Amino acid sequence: MSRSSARTLVIAGLSVLALAACTSNTPKAEENAGNPPANQAAVKNDEPGKKVKIGFSAPAADHGWMGAITKATQAEAKKYSDVELVVAEGTNDVNQQISQVETFINQKVDAIVLLPYDGAALTPVATKAMEAGITVVNVDREFDSPFAARTTVLGDNHGMGVSAGTYVCQQLKGKKDAVVAEIAGIDSLPLTQDRSKGFKEALADCGLKVSNRVAAEFTVESGEKAAANLLQAAPKIDAIWNHDDDQGVGVMAAIKNSGRKEFFVVGGAGSANVMRDIKSGNSLLKATVIYPSTQGADGIRLARLLVQKKALGDLVEVEVPRTVQLYAPVVTKDNVDQYLPTAFES
């Protein structure tokens, strides 16, 4: 097993542990007599408890993944009779989002689940909410201060790159002269830099490197343009990793127009249309790496537990963790049915 693969498995194990189901199995009747067994969870977290009013704010749903974040968050809140969710209109205006959080503070909500358009810019108002006694759960884009949130839910951008690179290595089976290409997202963003770093490290572990790299802007149009430039510059390619399945719609259009079929493609984020292509077996798309669109929904669950002073039922620790980082699994034809139900539409 390579060092990158080992790191990935460790991250997977920790993530599964942290996000395991909150409710415990019902013990047998005879076990309930006297003291409960040591491994019995202390609470049944899904049972209704104290009413929790949660404010939710996120950027505008101008991207399939972002739209799925808000949709999943609202759907999760509806599962709980003790949760009242107040949803602010999605916005890419930092000042407007700050105003939304100010409104939540004035409304005296119990908790705020916040996916900031800009983590640094939203840090002061999130800190203000915490100082007002409101539980803040930070989602996806981190604040600058540990005092701005009680708990942070993150995807794993570096892990995405590691997972994608590990899969490419496995498929190319040590072909040392393989040409690996990369279509990144916006290069100025730390998330893109983290993805590229993980990809490079995983490839290096099996003796490969990124031979050709272009950057897009997480849009269909930019993906098509970047892919067209890549295909023109590289007459031979064995594998392509595209960071984002939304821009991947344009990437695949450019590939189709080129008529080239000598390589396979790995996607990123985990859209439903990519998964359907993978499942069909008739596409150059052979895999995609998940960047979970359930982070807001996880934020709702954690906010509810925090306000009700409960913990994650499958952890021994009596408090909700400070940070929960979700795993970045590779979806292939073999496991696609497991991930399709939570996939987002590009």
- Tens-of-pLDDT digits for all 346 residues of the chain? 444 444 443 344 434 334 433 333 333 333 343 344 444 434 478 889 999 999 999 999 988 899 999 999 999 999 999 999 999 999 999 999 999 999 999 999 999 999 999 999 999 999 999 999 999 999 999 999 999 999 999 999 999 999 999 999 999 997 889 999 999 999 998 899 999 999 999 999 999 999 999 999 999 999 999 999 999 999 999 999 999 999 999 999 999 999 999 999 999 999 999 999 999 999 999 999 999 999 999 999 999 999 999 999 888 999 999 999 999 999 999 999 999 998 998 7
Q: State both tokens at 329.
A: 């699994």
Residue 71 domain-assigned (yes or no): yes
Which element (helix H / strand E) includes 212?
A: strand 210-215
Enclosing domain of residue 13: 3-155+294-326
User: Packing angle between helix 119-131 and helix 94-106, nearest 10 degrees?
Assistant: 10
Residue 58 domain-assigned (yes or no): yes
* Site of tokens 């009700």: 308
Paired strand residues for 153: 139, 324
Residue 339 domain-assigned (yes or no): no
Residue 340 domain-assigned (yes or no): no
Cβ neighbour number for residue 77 with a 10 Å cutoff: 23
Residue 47 domain-assigned (yes or no): yes
pLDDT at 22: 39
Q: Compute the distance between CA of residue 109 and CA of residue 85 in angstroms, rounded to an integer.
A: 9
Domain identity same for 181 and 280? yes
Residue 344 domain-assigned (yes or no): no
Domain identity same for 229 and 278? yes
**CATH (domain of 194):** 3.40.50.2300
Domain identity same for 303 and 276? no
Domain identity same for 299 and 231? no
Could you give the C-alpha distances from 166 to 22, 197, 199, 202, 281, in angstroms and in order? 31, 13, 8, 6, 21
Domain identity same for 19 and 74? yes
At residue 256's C-alpha, the angle toward residues 255 and 261, to 5°, is 70
Domain identity same for 163 and 121? no
Domain total of the chain? 2
